[in-house]
Amino acid sequence: MNRITETRALNSTVTLMKVEAPDVAKRAKAGQFIILRVDDKGERIPLTVADTDPATGEVTIMFQVAGATTRLLSMMKAGDFLADFVGPLGQPTHYEGAKKVCVVGGGVGCAIAYPQAKTLHKMGIPVDVVAGFKSKDIVILEDEFTAACDNLYITTDDGTYGIPGFVTTQLEKLINEGKGYDLVIAIGPIPMMKFVSAVTKKYGIKTIVSLNPVMIDGTGMCGGCRVTVGGETKFACVDGPDFDGHLVDYDGLMKRNSFYKEVEKAKDEHVCRIGLGGKHNG
């Protein structure tokens, strides 16, 4: 079991949580993830490692309440224990040859974009960040990004904060201004990654995306996280989660991710009722 040491709301639906997991903290690198269970009857869910502190043995994760397990997770407090916290899993991000990078994050995907920017900044590689949100009230990690990049550009769909518009518009503007990016890392909703990749493909800029298909075991055995990349079947849990953004079948990924929406909705409604009634018993 792993003890939760801190929980903090970043906005109305996104929570930052620190968990004692010394082995993960020592070994995890940007791009990798963990799989956790809230209790011994819970489902396994993957969450990206947002930060680590090898000195204290803590691992930081960030999550958005989107279903039954994340809702239960959001109810937990410092001092509570998670049944399982396994990792690091997946392949770390590779930056070989990168000279100037733009990290593009969308919504809660910014929690995954943050360790990318932080790692590049520590490596001394110039890195800009374009972070997109629907509106001002859900902006997260502004101070953290400011400290982990050379230039931060925050966009909001409704124009209530930062630069009005979408991340793709701002990215293309920066490219046309001669920023000279030779790598773009895009993390967020699938449509966002698809359109970012379409922009960078026009300019011949290498692009890495982090994919989020349905995942169960995280070891490549169940096959639930299969994605099509360059016409070949890959498993996001062991071959990824990073892939060449210009080769991903985004439409196929969106279709697969929608398979279990009704089941997930029913389970979430059930857990909501349990939560309102008192202690969760599985």
pLDDT 10s digits, 179-213: 999 999 999 999 999 999 999 999 999 999 998 87
Q: What is the DSSP letter of 77?
A: -
Is omega for the bond preceding 241 within 30 degrees of 0, making it cis? Answer: yes
Please tell me the pTM assigned to this model: 0.85
- Contact of 210 with 113, CB cutoff 8 Å: no
Residue 15 lies in a domain: yes
Tokens, residue 231: 């016409």
Is omega for the bond preceding 88 within 30 degrees of 0, making it cis? Answer: yes
Mean pLDDT of 25-40: 90
Q: How far apart are CA 215 and CA 235, in angstroms?
A: 9
Q: What pLDDT was estimated at residue 39?
A: 87
CATH number of the domain at 55, please: 2.40.30.10
The larger pLDDT score, comparing residue 219 to residue 262, is at: 219
- Contact of 48 with 116, CB cutoff 8 Å: no
pLDDT of 69-124, one tens digit each? Answer: 888 988 899 999 999 898 899 899 999 899 999 999 999 899 889 999 999 999 99
The count of other CB atoms within 10 Å of the CB of residue 22 is 16
pLDDT of 150-170, one tens digit each? Answer: 999 999 999 999 999 999 999
Q: Dihedrals φ, ψ of 275, to 5°?
A: -60, -40
Residue 68 lies in a domain: yes
Residue that has been written with the tokens 């993830």 in this structure:
33
Answer whether residue 267 shows pLDDT above 60: no
Residue 42 lies in a domain: yes
Answer whether residue 146 shows pLDDT above 90: yes
Q: What pLDDT was estimated at residue 262?
A: 61
Residue 153 lies in a domain: no
Q: What pLDDT was estimated at residue 126?
A: 96
Mean pLDDT of 224-239: 87
Mean pLDDT of 3-8: 94
Residue 84 lies in a domain: yes
Minimum mean pLDDT range among 5-14, 133-142, 216-225, 261-270: 261-270
Tokens, residue 73: 């997770």
Q: What percent of the chain has pLDDT over 90?
A: 59
Q: How far apart are CA 140 and CA 138, in angstroms?
A: 6
Residue 157 lies in a domain: no
Q: What pLDDT was estimated at residue 282?
A: 31
Minimum mean pLDDT range among 105-109, 143-147, 219-223: 219-223
The count of other CB atoms within 10 Å of the CB of residue 134 is 13
HEC-encoded secondary structure of 24-72: HHHHCCCCCEEEEECCCCCCCEEEEEEEEECCCCEEEEEEECCCHHHHH
Residue 282 lies in a domain: no
Instruction: Give the domain extent around 61.
Output: 2-89
Q: What percent of the chain has pLDDT over 70?
A: 91
Q: Which is it for strands 226-229 and 232-235: parallel, antiparallel or unpaired? A: antiparallel
Residue 243 lies in a domain: no
Answer whether residue 274 shows pLDDT above 70: no
Rg (CA), the chain: 18
Q: How far apart are CA 143 and CA 154, in angstroms?
A: 12
Q: Which is it for strands 58-64 and 81-82: parallel, antiparallel or unpaired? A: unpaired
Total structural domains within the chain: 1
Minimum mean pLDDT range among 48-52, 58-62, 66-70, 82-86: 66-70
Q: What pLDDT was estimated at residue 191?
A: 93
